[in-house]
Structure formats: structure tokens, C-alpha cells
Amino acid sequence: MAYTISNECIGCMACAKICPTNAVTGEKKQIHAIDPAACIECGACGRVCPSRAVLDHFGLAFERIPKKEWDCPQFDLKTCMSCTICLDTCPVSAISQALLLKGNPHLFPVLADEALCIGCGFCAGDCPADAVTMVPRNRESRTEETEKA
């Protein structure tokens, strides 16, 4: 149940560039296509497409969202159990680990570089402890809150 690309495609290649699994193929200025076997439904292509050409599996078109408005994860370290599920599930390996709590030898997840994140929300969806919330990026408080916890 992969995403698809409609005739609205202008062949700008934005989706092909961002797709973390290289599922999108197509020449410049030609209609692109998504390989259903490779697509993981992260939606990144839809968020970058300037002409609403990407359709989800219900056939609904995605709205383009400027990258600076994409959500990215915030980790609640009080609930986090250091299980590394979010690290593994992230399709762009944007999450790493660090010793974040003083006197606590367990490693906790961090999104060191927001720019890597494609806003798919897999980390939040897969976290069994519900320790991840998706919040707007570039929010000053994001890192602060993480540190406070």
C-alpha cells in the first residue's frame, strides 16, 4: 500500500531527492513514479511536492509544507526507557544516543541535527512508552525541554 504520484507531477525531482529509500524514479521534467515495494509511506515526498502530485494510499493529495514548519520529535526522558526502538525505526538515522541525565548511565535518544529529520513521525508512532511527541521544529524550547527532563 504505497504512495503514488499523479499526472500533476511536473518532474521537479524534489521527491526523488528526499525519499529515504530511493523509491522514487523519473527523469527531470517527466512524471515520476514510486516503487511500491520500496515505499515505506513516510510521506516526505508529499510534504515537498510543489504541485500536490503525491497521493497517499487513500488517494488523497498531500499539501506542501515548508520544511521549517515540519514537526520533529521531542523525547520525554522521564518516560523514555532507552530501548533504542526510535533509533532503529528512523528511516534517515537522524536519532543518536547520548548520556543526557546526570548520574544516569543509560543512553537517551537525541535529535542532534533537526535538518536530517523528514518529519515522518515513525519514532513517535513506534515508541512503546509513548515518550516521543512530534512538535514544530526550530522551536527554541524543544531542546530546553529535553534538557530539563
Which residues of this protein are in contact with another protein, per CB under 8 A? 1, 20-22, 38, 40-41, 81-85, 88-89, 91, 93, 99, 105-107, 122, 125-126, 128-130
Record the cell numbers describing residue 110, joined without a space: 537525541
- For residue 108, how far is the Cα from the chain centroid? 19
User: For residue 11, is it left (φ>0), alpha (ψ between -120 and 50) or beta?
Assistant: left
In this structure, how many other beta carbons lie within 10 angstroms of the beta carbon of residue 128?
A: 9
Residue 125 site contact among ligand SF4, another protein, none (CB < 5 to 8 Å, cut-off depends on kind): another protein
Which CB, 66 or 128, lies closer to another protein? 128
Query: Is residue 14 involved in binding ligand SF4 (CB under 6 A)?
Result: no
CB of 144 to ligand SF4, least distance (A): 18
Residue 36 site contact among another protein, ligand SF4, none (CB < 5 to 8 Å, cut-off depends on kind): none
Q: What is the DSSP string of 89-115?
A: H-TT--EEEE--STT--S-EEEE--GG
Query: Is residue 86 involved in binding ligand SF4 (CB under 6 A)?
Result: yes
Query: Is residue 55 involved in binding ligand SF4 (CB under 6 A)?
Result: no
Q: Mark out the alpha helices in the chain (DSSP H runs).
A: 14-18, 44-48, 85-89, 122-126, 140-148
Q: Given the rule CB under 6 A, which of 25-33, 59-67, 90-98, 137-145 is the region that contacts ligand SF4?
A: 90-98
